[in-house]
């Protein structure tokens, strides 16, 4: 762990603390630190610490903080409220990470980032799908072991892609699927008539209908109190033999334990980038589930998406110090 500080001797300036950091974001934050010159001091911790007590000590005395990858409990929020007046989150679904009502009660501005990685996440969803259907990684490993054995694949052209949620990421996935020659079906809370027409997508009335009529289902809903567990065991049971489920959104969208149980039957496939507990526990049943491709919540992790995320965090904090509003949620 190292600590990067700017103008530490200028104690008259307010203090911005970044109490931990994903390794791939450190370089991006360092490149933008000069934008805070004259506005605030910055204290950037470059490790991935998640211990709440340590994080609280690191943020002591801060006027603003940037939160990357940890939940702010009600107790921690109360502690921070003694000095902190702005929290910028390095993600979109902030209501999963902080009690927004309490933040408003304490007078703390909450900011998030939006559409920073739509293309990145969509491409990763398709990468998971392609690994399942064409098994490139598996054949590459075999080749490096000296084998020469072509493996059967699944052709996507003519298949049906079902998309749950049709925001920025869902629309990217739909366009790619359409480019493959797939038929696209969509279930969404909101109407997106123009985007649907562009790719000749059709709308369905229920998630259950989407699951039972699609060859591939890709999840792209935001996670909140209304969408928690929205995918039920009954929905998963409706998947036909050979169907594929892709989840680069949130694990909590699926009823707890239902996916592992469904995969045990061995007749469907899954490509998963998100999990109920992260990092994923060693004994998580999904680690040994058949027909499953797993990645460690990496869909967002591209050079451009990282830059976009850090850029928006910096802009939110600069807005706070200069009296403007950028990506303000509360």
pLDDT in tens, 3-24: 999 988 888 999 999 999 999 9
Model confidence at 273: pLDDT above 80:
yes
pLDDT for 96 equals 81
Q: Is the confidence at residue 304, as pLDDT, over 90? A: yes
Q: Is 166 helix (H, G, I), strand (E, B) or coil?
A: coil
d(C-alpha 148, C-alpha 210), whole Å: 39
Give residue 299's Cα distance to chain centre.
7
Give, to the nearest 10 degrees, the angle between helix 168-179 and helix 118-134.
Answer: 40
Tell me the two tokens of residue 272: 């998963």
> Is 328 in contact with 109 (CB distance < 8 Å)?
yes
pLDDT digits (tens, 9 = 90+) for 135-148: 999 999 999 999 99
Kindly give, in sequence order, each residue whose CB lies less than 8 Å from that of residue 81, ignoring residues fewer than 6 positions away.
106, 107, 108
Q: Does 1 score more than 80 pLDDT?
A: no
- What are the catalytic residues? 250, 278, 297
Q: Are 131 and 154 in contact (CB under 8 A)?
A: no
Pairwise CA distance, residues 286 & 296, whole Å: 12
* Residue whose pair of structure tokens reads 């979109």 in the numeric block: 92
The tokens describing 125, both together, are: 């969803």
Peptide bond into 279 cis (omega under 30): yes
* pLDDT, average across residues 206-221: 98
Q: Is the pTM of this model over 0.85?
A: yes
**pLDDT single digits (tens) 54-83:** 999 999 999 999 999 899 999 999 999 999
pLDDT digit string, tens, across residues 158-192: 999 999 999 999 999 999 999 999 999 999 999 89
**Which phi and psi (to 5°) does residue 84 adopt?**
-75, 135
Give mean pLDDT, residues 102-118.
97
User: What is the average per-residue pLDDT within 293-300?
Assistant: 96
Residue 203's CB is within 10 A of a number of other CB atoms, namely 14
For the chain, percent of residues with pLDDT exceeding 90: 94
Measure the CA–CA gap between 330 and 184, rounded to whole angstroms. 36
Q: Which pLDDT score, from 0 to 100, does residue 308 have? A: 97
Q: Name the phi and psi angles at 109, rounded to 5.
A: -75, 135
The answer to whether 67 and 48 have CB atoms below 8 angstroms apart is no
Element (DSSP H or E) covering residue 152: none
What does the pLDDT read at residue 80? 98
Two structure tokens written together for 195 = 């985007």
Tokens 């989840």 belong to 247
C-alpha torsion angle, residues 256, 237, 95, 92 (rounded to 10): 120
Give every CB contact of residue 313 below 8 A, 6+ residues apart in sequence: 66, 88, 89, 90, 111, 113
Q: Which domains does the chain have, with CATH numbers?
A: 3-116+303-322 (3.40.50.720), 118-294 (3.40.50.720)
The arithmetic mean of pLDDT across residues 282-309, rounded, is: 97
CA 142/CA 244 separation, integer angstroms: 23
Could you give the CA distance from residue 235 to residue 210 in angstroms, rounded to a whole number?
A: 9
pLDDT at 181: 98
pLDDT at 36 over 90: yes
């Amino acid at each position: 762990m190292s600590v990067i500080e700017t103008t530490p001797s200028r104690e008259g300036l307010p203090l911005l603390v970044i109490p931990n950091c994903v390794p791939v974001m450190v370089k991006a934050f360092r490149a933008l630190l000069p934008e805070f010159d004259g506005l605030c001091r910055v204290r950037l911790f470059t490790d991935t610490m998640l211990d709440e007590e340590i994080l609280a000590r690191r943020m002591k005395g801060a006027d603003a903080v940037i939160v990357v990858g940890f939940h702010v409990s009600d107790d921690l929020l109360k502690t921070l409220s003694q000095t902190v007046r702005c929290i910028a989150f390095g993600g979109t679904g902030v209501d999963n990470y902080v009690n927004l009502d309490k933040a408003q009660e304490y007078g703390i501005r909450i900011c998030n980032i939006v559409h920073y990685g739509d293309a990145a996440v969509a491409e990763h969803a398709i990468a998971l799908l392609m690994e399942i259907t064409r098994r490139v990684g598996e054949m590459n490993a075999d080749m490096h072991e000296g084998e020469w054995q072509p493996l059967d694949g699944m052709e996507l052209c003519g298949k049906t892609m079902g998309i749950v949620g049709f925001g920025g990421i869902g629309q990217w996935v739909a366009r790619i699927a359409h480019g493959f020659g797939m038929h696209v079906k969509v279930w969404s809370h909101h109407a997106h008539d123009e985007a649907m027409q562009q790719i000749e997508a059709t709308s369905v009335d229920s998630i259950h209908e989407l699951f039972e009529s699609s060859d591939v289902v890709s999840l792209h809903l935001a996670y909140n109190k209304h969408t928690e567990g929205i995918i039920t065991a009954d929905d998963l049971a409706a998947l036909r033999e050979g169907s594929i489920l892709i989840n680069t959104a949130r694990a909590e969208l699926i009823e707890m334990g239902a996916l592992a149980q469904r995969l045990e039957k061995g007749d469907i496939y899954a490509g998963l980038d998100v999990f109920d507990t992260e990092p994923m526990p060693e004994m998580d049943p999904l680690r040994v589930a058949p027909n499953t491709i797993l990645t460690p919540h990496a869909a967002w992790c591209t050079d451009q998406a990282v830059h976009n995320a850090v850029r928006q965090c910096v802009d939110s904090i600069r807005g706070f110090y200069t009296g403007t509003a950028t990506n303000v949620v509360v």
